[in-house]
Structure 1
Amino acid sequence: MLRVVSWNINGIRSPLNGAVCQESSTCPMALRRILDELDADIVCLQETKVTRDVLTEPLAIVEGYNSYFSFSRSRSGYSGVATFCKDSSTPVSAEEGLSGLFAIQNGNVGCYGDMNEFTQEELRTLDSEGRALLTQHKIRTAEGQEKTLTLINVYCPHADPGKPERLTFKMRFYRLLQIRAEALLEAGSHVIILGDLNTAHCPIDHCDASNMVRFCLANQLPRGSFLYGKT
């Protein structure tokens, strides 16, 4: 059985800023302790808040794990996702972003679907905040058949009520995510979308469940589109 954990960590360095990680040499042990305590084959983190230039070796290289990062290219200390896979669950391929624009020549996941409704500039903008990371794994079913599983680790955009352009950005991100996931499904892969979706299904899922007006205003359009395909 494959065990997968998702965690909005609100800064990957935050849990390490204690006595256990006062020196860089102790950071790998501290991070491995956290990963081991989660007792998962794959750990998907959101809101890592690191950029490539500040990612240190102790954060990226943890004994017993392979790590994959997507960074924000537009702001520092913002957004970002990471996936840590135990050596026993090393993916056969991995890819940053949903559009394929940041895919490397070899080892990418592929299966992009029809993205003609987006311009190249829009695709690059949607992927520039480091909000999606794909890893593809070979799994074996209970019947003994080998299948492909694609994990899409996402930190979906938050829509600030005072910034209508961010709601547009959020809805376009959801649309791109849908196209990519459906393309993978059509290619025969199982797909799991996990992470911080930034859309509450029910009031109990919201940070301020007592404020129904806020819940309805913030979630009506994203919830209807993302969960039910309504606009």
Structure 2
Amino acid sequence: MKVATWNINGVKARIESALTYLRQENPDVICFQEIKSVDENFPAGAFEEIGYNVAVHGQKGFNGVAILSKLPFDDVTQRLPGADDDEQARYIEAVISVPAGALKVISIYAPNGNPLGTEKFSYKLAWLKRLEQHARKLLAEEAAFVIAGDYNIIPEPVDAKRPAAWTEDALFQPESRAAYRRLLNEGLTDAVRLCHPGPGIYTFWDYQAGAFQKDDGIRIDHLLLSPQAADRLKTAGVDRFTRGWEKPSDHVPVWVELDL
């Protein structure tokens, strides 16, 4: 079973690329982030026509997450628990029945947090703390799950072509990186890093200054697996070729294959 994640950077702007990718790579499940669409305007019909069920948690103009699955959803939950007043659409989870039992797939778009010293960075850290608390609850259930998405965290220096360029950015702050490590310490597995331990694995290249042509990238899109999912990990990868497409997202798809 192939589970992918992609910050699409506007589903309407990237609809043809998304459909091309799905037809070509044929993931069983794909998580989208930054769809920039309210639920009722999400182009679900285009994806349903090629065989996907669609679950959306959208927001007008920015944010927004979705999960597309060839298999039907048993249950869908919107919003990250822990803050009923949080209106930002950054979290959706779905339960999918698979031959091995059930798989919970979670699509997240974690806050960027810039600029430093503002409430945006405080919100980022608070949101990540809520994610950690929820992950701990899910781990206690001993179920197979994947938390996939744009974490807006560069975990380690190896995850950036030029780490020094990010020292004043919220994505590479000690507090952000510590939040990511806490997720790993709870028992989650970074699938891509496990399969590709070396340098040069990036998922985002800025639109400015020819970053992609220079391979001046960072790795901020991750798939974290529960122990029950990690036990079934076959391989993982990054489909960087999409960054070279016409009108690309600045992120590329990341994926895992699980023996489910």
Q: TM-score, normalised by structure 2?
A: 0.62
Q: 2:29 aligns with which of 36, 42, 54?
A: 42
Q: 2:72 aligns with which of 81, 86, 90?
A: 90
- For structure 1, the 5+ residue unaligned runs are 22-29, 100-114, 116-121, 141-145
Residue of structure 2 equivalent to 1:118: none
Structure 1 range deviating more: 54-63 or 179-188: 54-63
- The equivalences for 1:1-231 within 5 A come to 2-16=1-15, 32-56=19-43, 58-59=45-46, 61-72=48-59, 76-86=60-70, 89-99=71-81, 115=82, 122-125=83-86, 128-140=87-99, 146-162=100-116, 164-206=118-160, 209-211=163-165, 213-214=167-168, 218-228=172-182
Give, in whole Å, the separation in 1 of the partners of 2:56 and 2:44.
13
- Decide whether aligned partners of structure 1 residues 90 and 54 sit closer, same or farther in structure 2, where only a CA change above 3 A counts: closer
Q: CA deviation at 1:14?
A: 1.4
Give, in whole Å, the separation in 2 of the partners of 1:212 and 1:53.
37
The two structures, once aligned, show a CA RMSD in angstroms of 2.7
SS in 2 for 1:92: strand
Which structure carries more relative contact order (alpha carbon 8 Å, separation 6+)? 2
- Decide whether aligned partners of structure 1 residues 10 and 186 sit closer, same or farther in structure 2, where only a CA change above 3 A counts: same
Give, in whole Å, the separation in 2 of the partners of 1:184 and 1:217.
25
Give, in whole Å, the separation in 1 of the partners of 2:112 and 2:54.
25
Q: Decide which structure has the larger Cα Rg and report it.
A: 1
Q: CA deviation at 1:154?
A: 0.3
Give, in whole Å, the separation in 2 of the partners of 1:79 and 1:226.
21
Give, in whole Å, the separation in 2 of the partners of 1:55 and 1:91.
18
Percent identical? 22
- Decide whether aligned partners of structure 1 residues 184 and 168 sit closer, same or farther in structure 2, where only a CA change above 3 A counts: same
Structure 1 range deviating more: 192-201 or 157-166: 157-166
- Decide whether aligned partners of structure 1 residues 57 and 183 sit closer, same or farther in structure 2, where only a CA change above 3 A counts: closer
- For structure 2, the 5+ residue unaligned runs are 186-260
Give, in whole Å, the separation in 1 of the partners of 2:58 and 2:131.
17
Q: CA deviation at 1:207?
A: 7.7
The answer to whether the 8 Å contact 1:94/1:136 transfers is yes
Q: CA deviation at 1:206?
A: 4.1
Q: CA deviation at 1:174?
A: 1.1
SS in 1 for 2:167: helix
The answer to whether the 8 Å contact 2:113/2:170 transfers is no
Paired residues in the alignment total: 184
- Decide whether aligned partners of structure 1 residues 138 and 165 sit closer, same or farther in structure 2, where only a CA change above 3 A counts: same
Letter in 1 for 2:2: R
Give, in whole Å, the separation in 2 of the partners of 1:217 and 1:3.
28
Return the structure number with greater helix share.
1
Give, in whole Å, the separation in 2 of the partners of 1:183 and 1:53.
31
